[in-house]
Amino acid sequence: MKNLILLLVGLFSFQAFAVDVTMEALVRSENDQPRKENVVLTNLVSEDSFDGEHFKIVKGKSEQAVKFSAEKHLTFRAATAYYHLMKARAYFVEKVKSDYVANIPKMTIRIEHTNQFSELGHFAHDNLEPQFNNALTIPAGKGFESRGVKPWDMEIWFRPSKKVHISELRVNGTAQQEFKVLLGQFRDQTRMQSLNRFLSNVIVAYTKEQQPGAPGPFSQEALIRTVGSTLIIEAGYLLMDPLTNVLARKWYWLDTALIPEIIYHEYAHAALSDHLVLSHSTAIIEGMADFFAGQIANSPKLADKIKKYNTYNGKNAKRKQEYMLQFEMQDYANTDFVFGMLWEMKKIVGDEQGLDFMYELRKKLTTNSGIRNELVEGILTTCDEKCAMPFSDKIRILKALNLKGL
Ligand SMILES: [Zn+2]
């Protein structure tokens, strides 16, 4: 009995063993500028590595947490990812009060990880098109015992950044078709629709700059239709490098483990994954993740940008602001539309009810949901359950959607 008590005491003291460590990480200042700052990393269960109750940060395929004594390049990214992941988790657990998120098993977070995801093998072969400049949330897997692949839980992967020179995109003098193919390849590499739109805007501006007066080979409209966008990540990217004149830059890259909005976006995928499975990427799923990333970032400046540029209600949005049926065919082209739509819906429903409303909405959606049918339907049924005044709120929602051609 005495031994048992000792054992229990031992267990409890182990449970209570949580270390807080102060480290340098990248955060945003009040006016959204990136800033190195000493932050407190809480709930660590190790005294010398990035191993916490909820997140373990590893490098590449390793299962060992990154040591605090590792090179600065690694510890800076590990600390930044850990800090913002804890912030995102706290948002879902404390503000949204999600039981699902509170019970997500400890996640392994891979930084500087280039392997593609394999449903059977966890990691695809090293030589299979290593990945850069993107981030990805992967579903748990059963493993493949006979091949020595252990089961794994849900994970988030951040790729290393890799500079891509504008000449690799070969904009000048190529046929539109060829350019589309090139951009498609680039998109596969980055998996960042937003970066593509950003790039395409820059490329257009750059091309015009190179050939003054001459019409660019591709109109802005055509490019945007080809490449699509995720506004929040675009905003993140633009904010990342405020000192460089973006139009003069000839090298492009995305260091995803250092961009708070991307970290929030990926964690939102995890938080929504009980209903929105991780194997697919659709406008609705991406728009939902963006919505929560925007909420977690809680930046008035970002909110302002969102209002200004989103395709749903933005004054400065370049694309048509009305819903069009062909949107449904091009998933990537309307992530912004969904994002803007949800942002607007929260305003109608009210800040108080809005969070609960949006999180509840995921239950009405699947990976096959379309905007015109299931999303609109889902918003209305969620309103029945969550709106303060369902009848009048639904009328306001319908009015707003109607104005957008839905
Ligand atoms: Zn995403």
Q: Report the separation in Å between the CA atom of 265 and the middle of ligand 1, taken as the mean of its atom positions.
A: 6
Q: Report the separation in Å between the CA atom of 290 and the middle of ligand 1, taken as the mean of its atom positions.
A: 8
Average pLDDT on 124-132 reads: 84
Q: Report the separation in Å between the CA atom of 94 and the middle of ligand 1, taken as the mean of its atom positions.
A: 23
Identity of the residue numbered 260: P
Q: Report the separation in Å between the CA atom of 158 and the middle of ligand 1, taken as the mean of its atom positions.
A: 12
Q: Does residue 293 form part of some domain? A: no
221 — pLDDT class (breaks 50, 70, 90):
very low
Q: What is the pLDDT of residue 365?
A: 93
Q: Does residue 172 form part of some domain? A: yes
Contact 137, 191 (CB under 8 A): no
* C-alpha–C-alpha distance, residues 247 and 390, integer Å: 48
Closest CA to 220 of 199, 249, 243, 193: 199
Identity of the residue numbered 68: F
Q: What is the pLDDT of residue 312?
A: 59
Q: Report the separation in Å between the CA atom of 286 and the middle of ligand 1, taken as the mean of its atom positions.
A: 5
SS3 49: strand
Q: What is the pLDDT of residue 122?
A: 95
Average pLDDT on 221-232 reads: 35
Q: Are residues 22 and 105 in the same domain?
A: yes
Q: Are residues 140 and 197 in the same domain?
A: no
29 — pLDDT class (breaks 50, 70, 90):
confident
Q: Are residues 185 and 237 in the same domain?
A: yes
Q: How far is CA 12 from the centre of its chain?
A: 36
Alpha helix positions (H), 246-299 = 260-272, 283-297
Q: Report the separation in Å between the CA atom of 266 and the middle of ligand 1, taken as the mean of its atom positions.
A: 6
Q: What is the pLDDT of residue 375?
A: 92
Q: Report the separation in Å between the CA atom of 298 and the middle of ligand 1, taken as the mean of its atom positions.
A: 19
Q: Are residues 59 and 128 in the same domain?
A: yes
Average pLDDT, the chain: 75
Domain that holds residue 177: 162-254
The vertex-234 CA angle with 179 and 304, nearest 5°, equals 140
Is the pLDDT assigned to residue 128 strictly greater than 80? yes
Q: What is the pLDDT of residue 166?
A: 54
| Residue, of 183 and 270, whose pLDDT is higher | 270
Per-residue model confidence as pLDDT tens digits over 30-52: 766 778 899 999 999 999 999 99
Q: Does residue 12 form part of some domain? A: no
φ/ψ (deg, to 5) at 58: -125, 165
Per-residue model confidence as pLDDT tens digits over 132-144: 777 889 999 999 9
* C-alpha–C-alpha distance, residues 74 and 57, integer Å: 10
Is the pLDDT assigned to residue 247 strictly greater than 90? no
| Residue, of 196 and 334, whose pLDDT is higher | 334
Q: Are residues 150 and 237 in the same domain?
A: no
**CATH number of the domain that residue 145 is part of:** 3.10.170
* C-alpha–C-alpha distance, residues 360 and 169, integer Å: 42
Of 103-117, 167-181, 322-336, 357-371, where does the model show the most confidence? 103-117
Q: Are residues 231 and 115 in the same domain?
A: no
Last residue of a domain, one of 116, 132, 158: 158
Is the pLDDT assigned to residue 230 strictly greater than 70? no
* C-alpha–C-alpha distance, residues 273 and 204, integer Å: 37
Q: What is the pLDDT of residue 218?
A: 32
Q: Are residues 152 and 183 in the same domain?
A: no
Closest CA to 370 of 284, 274, 280, 273: 284
| Residue, of 34 and 375, whose pLDDT is higher | 375
In sequence order, the 6+-apart residues with CB closer than 8 A to the CB of 18 are 42, 43, 44, 45, 53
Q: Are residues 198 and 137 in the same domain?
A: no
The total number of structural domains that make up the chain: 3
Question: Picking from 10-19, 68-77, 261-270, which range would have the lowest pLDDT averaged per residue?
Answer: 10-19
Q: Are residues 66 and 25 in the same domain?
A: yes
Q: Report the separation in Å between the CA atom of 368 and the middle of ligand 1, taken as the mean of its atom positions.
A: 16
Q: Report the separation in Å between the CA atom of 170 and the middle of ligand 1, taken as the mean of its atom positions.
A: 27
Question: Picking from 72-81, 243-252, 283-292, 374-383, which range would have the lowest pLDDT averaged per residue?
Answer: 243-252
Q: What is the pLDDT of residue 222?
A: 28
Q: Report the separation in Å between the CA atom of 362 and the middle of ligand 1, taken as the mean of its atom positions.
A: 15
Q: Are residues 131 and 197 in the same domain?
A: no
Q: What is the pLDDT of residue 314?
A: 52
345 φ/ψ sector (left φ>0, alpha ψ -120 to 50, else beta): alpha
* C-alpha–C-alpha distance, residues 235 and 201, integer Å: 13
Q: Does residue 141 form part of some domain? A: yes
Q: Are residues 280 and 385 in the same domain?
A: yes
